[in-house]
Amino acid sequence: MTTSAATTLKGQPLDRPALDSMLRRRMFYTPSFEIYGGVAGLYDYGPPGCGLQANVVDAWRKHFVLEEDMLEIDCSVLTPHEVLKTSGHVDKFADWMCKDPKNGEILRADHFVEEILENRLKGDKEARGQKVEEKEEDPKKKKRKNKGAVEAVKLDDAVVQEYEETLAKIDNYNGAELGELIKKHDLKNPATGVQPSPPVAFNLMFQTSIGPSSNSPGYMRPETAQGQFLNFSKLLEFNQAKMPFASASVGRSYRNEISPRAGLLRVREFLMAEIEHFVDPEGGKKHPRFDEVKDVELVLLNRETQLSGKTSVEKVAIGQAVAKGTVDNETLGYFLARIHLFLKKIGVDQSKIRFRQHMANEMAHYAADCWDAELLTSYGWIECVGCADRSAYDLSVHAKKTGAPLIVRERLPAPIKIEEWVVDVDKKKFGPHFKKDGKTVEAALMETSQAQREEFAKALSESGSLTIEVPGVGDGKCTVPKELVVVEKRTRTENTREFTPNVIEPSFGIGRILYALMEHCYWSRGSEGGDEARGVLSFPPTVAPTKVLIVPLSSNEQFAPFCYKLSQKLRKRGISSRIDDSSATIGKRYSRNDELGTPLGITVDFQTVKDQTITLRDRDSTKQVRADEDRIIQAIQSMVDGSKSWQEVEGELPAFEGQEVEVTIRE
Amino acid sequence: MTTSAATTLKGQPLDRPALDSMLRRRMFYTPSFEIYGGVAGLYDYGPPGCGLQANVVDAWRKHFVLEEDMLEIDCSVLTPHEVLKTSGHVDKFADWMCKDPKNGEILRADHFVEEILENRLKGDKEARGQKVEEKEEDPKKKKRKNKGAVEAVKLDDAVVQEYEETLAKIDNYNGAELGELIKKHDLKNPATGVQPSPPVAFNLMFQTSIGPSSNSPGYMRPETAQGQFLNFSKLLEFNQAKMPFASASVGRSYRNEISPRAGLLRVREFLMAEIEHFVDPEGGKKHPRFDEVKDVELVLLNRETQLSGKTSVEKVAIGQAVAKGTVDNETLGYFLARIHLFLKKIGVDQSKIRFRQHMANEMAHYAADCWDAELLTSYGWIECVGCADRSAYDLSVHAKKTGAPLIVRERLPAPIKIEEWVVDVDKKKFGPHFKKDGKTVEAALMETSQAQREEFAKALSESGSLTIEVPGVGDGKCTVPKELVVVEKRTRTENTREFTPNVIEPSFGIGRILYALMEHCYWSRGSEGGDEARGVLSFPPTVAPTKVLIVPLSSNEQFAPFCYKLSQKLRKRGISSRIDDSSATIGKRYSRNDELGTPLGITVDFQTVKDQTITLRDRDSTKQVRADEDRIIQAIQSMVDGSKSWQEVEGELPAFEGQEVEVTIRE
């Protein structure tokens, strides 16, 4: 895992501070409440960020929800305690934190241990005169870079090995173990030189109280999924009882990160888009449309490769990956391919996507398989989409807790006969015989397994009674004489089958995708002829916040009506445009819009006034064509809806070069 | 204010329970967490509700944001304490609540007093043998209908008058006053027969804690506006310093209602769409596009009419209303007209809209004028859109608190000369003369007004010194000899003007609009020929959740590919459709989609297989036309984008009647 330094779309080294400063200057995003000093992990999207987000969500809806007739629902963020207790979030959705007793600083325990040990290992390498290789950065690490300097101190070989082994398992320690590591290795907060307090669990959900009394605790949801699970039966009915089907939700979720520091990648409030695809667990989880995607090639980093300590990937058709068993089933594979196609469509760099399989210890115990779509950014490989097979876990726990039948009842094609051992109790005799324990003994009998019942039948016929363990009654064992009970094998006919569907869950972190997309589309237009280097965001037209910049050549009053008419025509076709009639030079105005990622520019000039023709400029090549308004608008439409590329348009319309000279003369 | 019983779109009496049950059955909405018993005031939107919401928000964006190049931003919901302290929400965004000491029930104090007094007045009328007239219902009242029965007890005339006066002012009492009313009139909770405890303020914001330490209190925002105000300077810069401009936000807000009970109208979590239009307070707040709307007629219920105890409205062109001064200024009037046009576009019943002006005591002290767009529903007139002129209040308080310059600096067309009195202090002599008090005396001098300075100049020339009050220095008065100070009139040139913009704020409660829209579009298809009455939701095609239902005449396999091809073609044009190939009769399938508000239906039958023609059915008239696929799709497109009505389409394409008979024979 050596560093592959981050690069721009054109392969230039990525200057993250320059990009960040441009994104803030152009108001793609801005820290929330900045004039009040800001709050870590909270950001606002300004107009271009908001537009980019809306377009990506729109593309997501078309690609997933509309294409597959998914049932989109919109659920409450406020969630009562009991729901998240059942889902496991109240008990398990936590990080370990410790406090520095001297300055009160709160530290995330695993990050703290990891960082100090890494610094010691670096110090050891320095002391040994070895080259300190940076590992691939990941945001968990990056955010702590400012902590503690590296001191060149040589360590024993055994210590080095111990540290390395600890770091390899850092995600698996619980609070007590992290506390022991802190004591054992005497890990001190570099800021104060003291050991932090033992780690305590910090639940990552924002808690609040619903209603005026304080006895209705609630949380802001940490994911949109629970609302979809709770509505399962209604959704199934809405879908006219047809299986399989998927629900989908786009909405905010909240995680109270202990100390968020990786910009847009680790935030406390974020937009998620989640799909819950409900599928019959029997029949190998086939997908009816798998054939359509089977040849899509994905870059996979599977579990075995990671176990062997490598990060080497393979590019493989999803059909093959499922056939080989690398990916657990067709439905999961189908969604991996669809996720890939979606990321491609919105402009994610194809060389910066990989699908990483979760290690067994990363997955929840109930999960059958799980893959993350990771995007390469200057913070390293970032998990942007998770795609898990969650088995029947969620529906089962909520059904068990509430008694609601979160199941599918399916009419069998033909009735089936079921042979089974049945227990019948003679209630009239049972009560008088066992008195106050009657109900308890009866319940114990009813809960027995088929195997136990077979034993009982044997015992009854052989010895005239059966013996059953009933904790709390007498000495814990009860003898039931054959006068009170019949145990026999009977045949019953079933017309329906009941099952709890399994859930395949593609879950998208929209904010992370947006950030990765901005890095992937960014490049810098070299400083030709003494110009400063200028930033460009080469968003595909489909997701670009604004599609067309309209610039009048100068402030000459003749141009204004042409610009207005053009913007109205574009608006009618649903194409967003913006007129820039400021007094800046055309070059400066285009520059500003390169930074905003606007793919196309129209110039209205004196020729327009004469013959109604306009020029159309391509952001990426800065080439221009000239034609009449209708042909230009037609070309724009086809590029925005993705049916044509600039290259095709360029081939069809007459090229145009430099009107500025002529104009200077004429004005 | 006598009752005007609620009616359907066709003037039938509105059966709210029937509508509610239909909306839930079709999953327009459903109580959140229902399998856990639900939480009052929290609802989920199912697929059609979610679709309707998305389409209404989309129409809103096109009508407001795109049409006016507003700057849409997306801000954090989590908001730190200090921001909402400054805005006034921490101190003032509260209702008064009391507790029943016997059963612990929590009551909203004003609602409690109102309800008991109203019941006593009704009881008095009954005792006097008068007809008890229901007032126009409003949701605040409706929700408490289940409380306390009316007893026929006659009251003294003086008491009746006192109660009536109290009720007229019920919104103006503070907690102490409500407490006094409870004591004075001995108001008891009907459920227990005891007086509730004295009212205490209950803040309606959901509180939480941001980050791991407990010293960062925060709230879930009660409105989206604050995020827009805090970003003012960045937005102005983004807008290249041009004024006026507007920002806009669509997002969730939260209000912890004490006991929400009016269905979708009073909820704890809701979607808002807010616009903040920033305008120069000088020059009468003209609007450049006011001329475009000046003839739009609005139904206005102004302040004077309400003061005189009436609810009579006038229908008046907005141009006239502004000219007469009924509506304060053009910008406010412009938005009232635009709001009206928006409501009309999405299908709100034109006879059920009015704009009600806030009474002086309803408005915040800083507001210049405020109008609510109210929609008539079975709960009475409901505030769905507020439109307030908030003056410079919000920007001023945040600027004052943070020191951020939330102002506009405008280059003056020509420099202006300003004559003013100036104070110059001779620093070298001032210090030695006043010693430790030097700075204080100097500061006091610098803070003096123009009038004071004129006095000083006179004093200096007449007596050789000036006397100024400086609290805390000596006996509170200081004498400054003319050797230390010069006070004289000078002329200075100003090139820029600074001002704090005023804010016009149209604020939309999307959930309330959706509910009103569902009531306004609902009607019941009479029970002709023995059929049950069937519900219809006549949404305009633009906002209908699904535009087209595609039904194959039967499960015959020949039909499936036609249906699929049609749905693909519609999808390409961005038109949502749904295939219903269930085994129900065509009538039943259309019925289901009438309830879902799907405006158009296509039937694929044997004729289709032969000649590729299909029939198109209009939901509202149930009439059908038949033509080839392309012409039908073209017609659908024009109805969905609003350019044609069904009547026009019907005039252009051949009518079609009843294929069902023929089919029965052929199958």
Helix boundaries (H) for B98-250: 109-128, 139-142, 157-168, 175-184, 225-230, 232-238
Q: Which of B90, B234, B259, B276 is the best residue to mutate to test the A interface, defined by the most A CB atoms within 10 Å of its own CB?
A: B234
Which residue from B33, B45, B78 is facing A268, i.e. has the nearest CB? Answer: B78
Residue B30 counted as domain residue:
no
- What pLDDT shows up at residue A500? 97
**Percentage with pLDDT > 70 across chain B:** 94
| Shortest distance, CA A491 to any CA of chain B (angstroms) | 33
pLDDT digits over B305-324, tens only? Answer: 888 877 788 999 999 999 99
Same-domain status, A304 and A208? no
Report the C-alpha gap between B590 and B587 in whole angstroms. 5
Neighbours of A630 (CB within 10 A): 10
Residue A253 counted as domain residue:
yes
Q: Which of A25, A53, A208, A255 is the best residue to mutate to test the B interface, defined by the most B CB atoms within 10 Å of its own CB?
A: A208
pLDDT digits over A302-341, tens only? Answer: 998 888 877 788 999 999 999 999 999 999 999 999 999 9
Same-domain status, A417 and A337? no
Which residue from B32, B71, B230 is facing A47, i.e. has the nearest CB? Answer: B71
Of A435, A466, A499, at which residue does a domain stop?
A: A499
pLDDT digits over A495-541, tens only? Answer: 999 999 999 999 999 999 999 999 999 999 875 554 567 899 999 99
| Shortest distance, CA B355 to any CA of chain A (angstroms) | 30
Same-domain status, B239 and B376? yes
CB contacts, 8 Å: B84 with chain A? none
pLDDT digits over B606-665, tens only? Answer: 999 999 999 999 999 999 999 999 999 999 999 998 899 999 999 999 999 865 433 333
Q: Of A253-257, A591-595, B364-368, B522-526, give the lowest mean pLDDT range.
A: B364-368
**Would the pLDDT of A198 be above 50?**
yes
- What pLDDT shows up at residue B439? 86
Report the C-alpha gap between A494 and A420 in whole angstroms. 12
Quick check: A211 and B66 CB within 8 A? no
pLDDT digits over B407-436, tens only? Answer: 999 989 899 998 999 999 888 888 888 888
Residue whose C-alpha is closest to residue B251's, from B392, B120, B60: B60
CA B525 to chain centroid, in Å, comes to 32
Report the C-alpha gap between B257 and B39 in whole angstroms. 12
Which residue from B27, B53, B268 is facing A234, i.e. has the nearest CB? Answer: B27
- What pLDDT shows up at residue A90? 94
Quick check: B35 and A82 CB within 8 A? no
For residue A267, what is the nearest residue in chain B, using CA coordinates?
B76
Q: Is B76 on the interface with A (CB under 8 A)?
A: yes
HSE on the CB side for A193, CA within 13 Å? 0
CB contacts, 8 Å: B112 with chain A? none
Quick check: B218 and A39 CB within 8 A? yes
- What pLDDT shows up at residue A148? 63
**Would the pLDDT of B213 be above 90?**
no
pLDDT digits over A647-661, tens only? Answer: 999 999 999 986 543
Which residue from B212, B234, B402 is facing A97, i.e. has the nearest CB? Answer: B212
The CATH number of residue B153's host domain is: 3.30.40.230
CB contacts, 8 Å: B109 with chain A? none
Residue A15 counted as domain residue:
no
> Regarding predicted confidence, which is higher, B537 or B214?
B537
Q: Is A85 on the interface with B (CB under 8 A)?
A: no
Same-domain status, A422 and A375? no
**Would the pLDDT of A662 be above 70?**
no
Q: What is the DSSP string of A468-516?
A: EE-TTSTTSEEEEETTSEEEEEEEEEEEEEEEPPEEEEEEEEHHHHHHH
Quick check: A75 and B402 CB within 8 A? no
Same-domain status, B263 and B380? yes
Mean pLDDT of A202-224: 92
Quick check: B80 and A571 CB within 8 A? no
Residue whose C-alpha is closest to residue B625's, from B605, B645, B603, B606: B603
Report the C-alpha gap between B231 and A119 in whole angstroms. 40
pLDDT digits over B92-126, tens only? Answer: 899 999 999 998 888 999 989 999 999 999 999 98
Same-domain status, A469 and A479? yes
CB contacts, 8 Å: B641 with chain A? none
Handedness of CA B102, B108, B110, B115 (dihedral sign): negative
Binding-face residues of B in 388-407 toward A, CB within 8 A: 398, 401-402, 404, 406
Q: Return the amino acid letter for A597.
A: G
Residue whose C-alpha is closest to residue B464's, from B436, B486, B495, B432: B486
CA B594 to chain centroid, in Å, comes to 29
Mean pLDDT of A106-120: 91
| Shortest distance, CA B257 to any CA of chain A (angstroms) | 7
The CATH number of residue B442's host domain is: 3.30.720.200
Same-domain status, A197 and A265? no
Question: pLDDT class for A37, splitting at 50, 70, 90?
Answer: very high
Angle between helices A47-60 and A330-346 (to 10 degrees): 140
Residue B41 counted as domain residue:
no
For residue B246, what is the nearest residue in chain A, using CA coordinates?
A47
**Would the pLDDT of A141 be above 50?**
no
Mean pLDDT of A383-399: 96
Q: Is B227 on the interface with A (CB under 8 A)?
A: yes
Q: Of A65-69, A528-532, B70-74, give the lowest mean pLDDT range.
A: A528-532
Same-domain status, A271 and A314? yes
Q: Return the amino acid letter for A494.
A: E
| Shortest distance, CA B543 to any CA of chain A (angstroms) | 16
8 Å CB contact between A135 and A3:
yes
The residues that bridge with A228 in the sheet, in sequence order, are: none
The CA–CA distances, whole Å, from A203 to A368, A525, B226 equal 26, 46, 29
Angle between helices A47-60 and A510-521 (to 10 degrees): 110
Of A394, A422, A440, at which residue does a domain stop?
A: A394
pLDDT digits over B567-611, tens only? Answer: 999 988 889 999 998 888 888 899 999 999 999 999 999 999 999
CB contacts, 8 Å: A109 with chain B? none
CB contacts, 8 Å: B49 with chain A? 74
Q: What is the DSSP string of A236-264?
A: HHHTTT-SSEEEEEEEEEE---SS--SGG
Quick check: A27 and B235 CB within 8 A? yes
The CATH number of residue A282's host domain is: 3.30.930.10
**Percentage with pLDDT > 70 across chain A:** 94
Neighbours of B226 (CB within 10 A): 22
CB contacts, 8 Å: A275 with chain B? none
Q: Is A21 on the interface with B (CB under 8 A)?
A: no
Same-domain status, A194 and A232? no
Quick check: A259 and B27 CB within 8 A? no
Q: Is A359 on the interface with B (CB under 8 A)?
A: no
CB contacts, 8 Å: B67 with chain A? 571
- Return all residues near A578 (Cβ < 8 A) that are at least 6 apart: A546, A548, A549, A550, A567, A593, A598, B69
Residue B645 counted as domain residue:
yes
CB contacts, 8 Å: B582 with chain A? 240
Same-domain status, B383 and B337? yes
Quick check: B36 and A230 CB within 8 A? yes
Residue A361 counted as domain residue:
yes
| Shortest distance, CA A263 to any CA of chain B (angstroms) | 15
Binding-face residues of B in 556-585 toward A, CB within 8 A: 571, 576, 578, 580, 582
CB contacts, 8 Å: A67 with chain B? 571
Chain A and chain B share a number of CB contacts under 8 A equal to: 203
Q: Is B127 on the interface with A (CB under 8 A)?
A: no
Residue B325 counted as domain residue:
yes
Total structural domains within chain B: 4
8 Å CB contact between B276 and B503:
yes
CB contacts, 8 Å: B240 with chain A? 580, 582
The residues that bridge with A252 in the sheet, in sequence order, are: A271
Indicate the burial class of B201 (C-beta count within 10 angstroms; 0-12, 13-18, 19 or more).
Answer: middle
Binding-face residues of B in 232-271 toward A, CB within 8 A: 233-235, 238, 240, 252, 254, 256, 258-259, 268-269
Quick check: B73 and A45 CB within 8 A? yes
| Shortest distance, CA A539 to any CA of chain B (angstroms) | 19
Neighbours of A241 (CB within 10 A): 13
**Percentage with pLDDT > 90 across chain B:** 69
Q: What is the DSSP string of B575-630?
A: --EEE--SSS-HHHHHHHHHHTT--EEEEE-HHHHHH-EEEEEETTT--EEEEEHH
**Would the pLDDT of A288 be above 80?**
yes
Q: Is A532 on the interface with B (CB under 8 A)?
A: no
Residue B307 counted as domain residue:
yes
Of A247-251, A426-430, A588-592, A652-656, the range with the highest mean pLDDT is: A247-251
Quick check: A36 and B230 CB within 8 A? yes
Quick check: A259 and B77 CB within 8 A? no
Same-domain status, A231 and A160? no
**Would the pLDDT of A140 be above 80?**
no
Q: Is A216 on the interface with B (CB under 8 A)?
A: yes
Residue whose C-alpha is closest to residue B108's, from B261, B263, B264: B261
Q: Of A36-50, A117-131, B45-59, give the lowest mean pLDDT range.
A: A117-131
Report the C-alpha gap between B539 and B439 in whole angstroms. 71
CB contacts, 8 Å: A213 with chain B? 104, 106
Mean pLDDT over the full length of chain A = 90
Binding-face residues of A in 26-65 toward B, CB within 8 A: 26-27, 30, 32-36, 39-40, 42-47, 49-51, 53-54
The CATH number of residue A641's host domain is: 3.40.50.800
Complex ipTM value: 0.87
Range of the domain at B268: 53-76+224-394+504-508
Same-domain status, A106 and A213? no
Q: Of A327-341, B241-255, B259-273, B344-358, give the lowest mean pLDDT range.
A: B259-273
Question: pLDDT class for A169, splitting at 50, 70, 90?
Answer: confident
Which 8-state DSSP code applies to residue A7? B
Mean pLDDT over the full length of chain B = 90
Of A394, A424, A441, at which residue does a domain stop?
A: A394
